[in-house]
């Protein structure tokens, strides 16, 4: 099975929220991705809703349901409001992330030595509702073993360290840690997703691990869209100005 790309649309929501109007329109870019063959959309509504909002989750559930085989992944810290929205909208997958309210971005996986009981309760609630569950985890075998006991279907490996070591002298060693973590997870019956700081340059190597079910990518897709699309846009402006 091929690895699914789930495009995280939070950065487009951030840009929209900067002006208080619906521009850029999140729905348009979700459709652009889905019409281009992408089979996954991710939203990460944070408690302060500074990127994707809870209302976006409702709209996105409808859009994704119009596309055959496409999946919606809603990720975030399972605070009460998040859980209400997820249980009402029933995305295909819910990725639980231990982020704190003012965190710039997710920067660590669950510490299940501390949070296993709470996480197990939430995993059960989501699964009882028919939602596949994934836990955002560091590449740490001991933690991954506890993750299995929570009843989760999948883990999402937090790939920041892989990405930041890519192309340095440490890259092979760090890659090996991720490879071992993914293989171990598979061996004990967990499916593996991955995300954070993956991009057009470092993705291919990561996928050589094999059997990665999904990669969730947001930030780089927006930056790379500037790289590959801004020149064209500037030319269009100049054409109008020079006419
Ligand atoms: N996975 C999780 C749990 C995240 O919080 C994020 C960022 O919101 C991503 C994946 C995607 O990371 P990036 O935006 O660096 O591609």
Which of 4, 5, 41, 44 gets mutated to test ligand 1 (max ligand atoms within 8 A of its CB)?
44
Protein residue closest via CA to atom 12 of ligand 1? 196
Report residues whose beta carbon is within 6 angstroms of any ligand 1 atom: 8, 10, 44, 75, 95, 97, 105-106, 136, 156, 195-198, 216-220
Q: Which two tokens stand for residue 60?
A: 């996105």
Task: Tell me if residue 75 is catalytic.
Answer: yes
* Burial class for 233, CB neighbours closer than 10 Å (0-12, 13-18, 19+): exposed
The CB density around residue 225, as the number of other CB atoms within 10 Å, is: 13
Kindly give the number of the ligand 1 atom that is closest to the alpha carbon of 106: 5
* 4-241 to CATH, choices 3.60.10.10, 3.20.20.70, 3.30.1490.190, 3.40.50.300: 3.20.20.70
Which of 4, 41, 216 gets mutated to test ligand 1 (max ligand atoms within 8 A of its CB)?
216
Each residue's pLDDT expressed in tens, for the chain with a length of 243 residues: 799 999 999 999 999 999 999 999 999 999 999 999 999 999 999 988 889 999 999 999 999 999 999 999 999 999 999 999 999 999 999 999 999 877 888 899 999 999 999 999 999 999 999 999 999 999 999 999 999 999 999 999 999 999 999 999 999 999 999 999 999 999 999 999 999 999 999 999 999 999 999 999 999 999 999 999 999 989 999 999 998
Protein residue closest via CA to atom 9 of ligand 1? 196
Instruction: State how far the Cα of 237 lies from the Cα of 11, in Å rounded to an integer.
Output: 24
Cβ-contact 152, 115 below 8 angstroms = no
Q: What is the pTM of this model?
A: 0.96
Residues 6+ away with beta carbon under 8 Å from 58:
85, 89
Kindly give the number of the ligand 1 atom that is closest to the alpha carbon of 197: 15
The domains of the chain are located at 4-241
Task: Tell me if residue 44 is catalytic.
Answer: yes
Protein residue closest via CA to atom 5 of ligand 1? 106
Which of 92, 161, 196, 214 is catalytic? The answer is 196
Protein residue closest via CA to atom 11 of ligand 1? 196
Q: What is the largest CA-CA distance in the chain?
A: 66
Instruction: State how far the Cα of 115 lies from the Cα of 119, in Å rounded to an integer.
Output: 6
Instruction: State how far the Cα of 118 lies from the Cα of 116, in Å rounded to an integer.
Output: 6
Which of 195, 197, 214 gets mutated to test ligand 1 (max ligand atoms within 8 A of its CB)?
195
Which of 51, 75, 156, 214 is catalytic? The answer is 75
DSSP state of 70: -
């Amino acid at each position: 099975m091929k690895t699914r790309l789930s495009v995280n649309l939070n950065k487009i929501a951030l840009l929209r929220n900067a002006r208080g109007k619906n521009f850029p329109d999140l729905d348009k870019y979700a459709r652009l991705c889905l019409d281009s063959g992408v089979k996954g959309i991710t939203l990460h509504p944070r408690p302060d809703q500074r990127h994707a909002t809870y209302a976006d989750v409702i709209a996105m559930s409808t859009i994704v349901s119009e596309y055959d085989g496409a999946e919606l992944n809603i990720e975030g810290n399972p605070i009460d409001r998040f859980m209400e929205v997820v249980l009402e909208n029933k995305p295909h997958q819910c990725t639980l992330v231990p982020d704190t309210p003012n965190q710039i971005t997710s920067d660590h996986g669950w510490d299940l030595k501390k949070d296993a009981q709470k996480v197990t309760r939430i995993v059960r609630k989501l699964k009882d509702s028919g939602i596949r569950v994934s836990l955002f985890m560091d590449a740490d075998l001991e933690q991954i073993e506890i993750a299995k006991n929570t009843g989760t279907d999948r883990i999402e490996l937090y790939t920041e360290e892989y990405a930041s070591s890519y192309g340095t002298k440490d890259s092979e060693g760090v890659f090996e840690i991720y490879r071992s973590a993914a293989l171990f997870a598979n061996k004990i019956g967990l499916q593996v997703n991955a995300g954070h700081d993956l991009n057009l340059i470092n993705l291919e190597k990561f996928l050589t691990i094999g059997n990665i079910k999904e990669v969730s990518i947001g930030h780089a897709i927006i930056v790379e869209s500037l790289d590959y699309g801004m020149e064209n846009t500037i030319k269009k402006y100049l054409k109008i100005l020079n006419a």
